[in-house]
Amino acid sequence: MVRAAVLPAVNAPLEITEIELPDPAPGQVRVRLAAAGVCHSDLSLSNGTLRQPVPAVLGHEGAGTVSAVGAGVTDWAPGDRVVLNWAPACGGCHFCGLGEPWLCAAAGAAATAPYATRAADGGELYPGLGTAVFAEETLVPRNALLPLPDGVPLTDAALLGCAVLTGYGAIHHAARVRPGESVAVFGVGGVGLAVLQSARLAGAGPIVAVDVSPAKEELARAAGATAFVPAGDETAKRIRALTGGHGADVAVECVGRAETIRTAWSATRRGGRTTVVGIGGKDQQVSFSALELFYFGRTLSGCVYGNCDPARDLPVIAEHVRAGRLDLGSMVTERIGLDGIPAAFEAMLAGRGGRALVVF
């Protein structure tokens, strides 16, 4: 039996309880978690913004050690240090064939099948986003793991599974930021902090951070922001003033709200790029006039998992971590146990903090 945070129903409080994991089936791997990041996507799963069969064990940003493997698994062995991949590519669908594994049509398949049971009553449980890392151990398909290179702390490595891959990819793949370009980052949560660090890595400047909480200015500047603008009616105007009157070459929206996306668009220069990383609800409608689309010549694009190929990008990111160019620990604003996840959800709703990390 292992302890886990179970979501019994959409919008229901999490329950910290014991669950039973079966032995790994053929093609499966069991992982003992070292840590799990509390991501806004987990909150979106709990409140129904993102669809997830329930009851479920949430959590998708994690790292740990392989404890057992199923029949036919030859690429993993007990003791291997791994990062969980919540969107493993199948390699055979239309999008994988296009070289776009972040859009893989089969990436979410594991989330739709029960993987464990409640210890108390034997009720079936589903794995949140296929990984279920809000538990001491989890069970995943063999392709849902990435090898953690040596020299990266196992606990902090949990952030690589979502926030850092997403933030790094948003800058280097989706927005394709070039040295000397100005970048505005909307939302200084876990992903926003990774975007800021990645913008600094790309040689961007100035780098402007925007958030509703002025208390996040110090956190943003430590991650690479050269300026901080509190979110408000004058946000776009202030960003233009910081970028020669033109607006940012690149604006990255990490919130997923219609008004924030619209402000990020307005803060982007003519011919610039607005990249939306935040996951919003289907009721969040953003409007543009036909004339402004023509006149400003901006590019508006979505960004899934940083448009990353994790197998390609994780080793590159790990080298930045080993060299001290990326600081994973500075993104963690709170280290908690499973019991602290509900409070971490409340903090995200209130716009507080960076990344809470569940440490097992």
Question: Using one digit for the tens of pLDDT, what is the confidence trace for 97-153?
Answer: 999 999 999 999 999 999 999 998 999 999 999 999 999 999 999 999 999 999 999
Q: Please give the pLDDT value at position 348.
A: 86
CA separation for the pair 333, 165 (Å, rounded): 19
The neighbour count for residue 251, using CB atoms within 10 Å, is 32
Query: How many CA atoms within 13 Å lie on the side-chain side of 172?
Result: 21
- List all residues 6 or more positions away from 294 whose beta carbon is below 8 Å from its beta carbon: none
Inter-CA distances, 198 with 75, 295, 358, Å: 31, 30, 24
- Say if strands 2-7 and 28-38 run parallel, antiparallel, or are unpaired: unpaired
Q: Please give the pLDDT value at position 83.
A: 98
The matching CATH number, chosen from 3.40.50.740, 3.30.930.10, 3.30.420.40, 3.90.180.10, for 2-161+327-359 is 3.90.180.10
Q: Please give the pLDDT value at position 6.
A: 96
pLDDT band at 352 (very low <50, low <70, confident <90, very high): confident
**Which of the residue ranges 173-177, 214-218, 318-322, 346-350 would you say has the lowest mean pLDDT?**
346-350
Q: Which CATH architecture has domain 164-304?
A: 3-Layer(aba) Sandwich (3.40)
pLDDT above 90 (res 350): no
Q: Where are the domains of the chain?
A: 2-161+327-359, 164-304
Q: Please give the pLDDT value at position 323.
A: 94
Q: Please give the pLDDT value at position 353.
A: 73
pLDDT in tens, 19-71: 999 999 999 999 999 999 999 899 899 988 888 999 999 999 999 999 999 99
Q: Please give the pLDDT value at position 281.
A: 86
CA separation for the pair 335, 194 (Å, rounded): 18
pLDDT in tens, 220-230: 999 999 999 99
Closest CA to 161 of 44, 55, 278, 35: 35
pLDDT above 90 (res 354): no
What is the pTM assigned to this prediction? 0.94
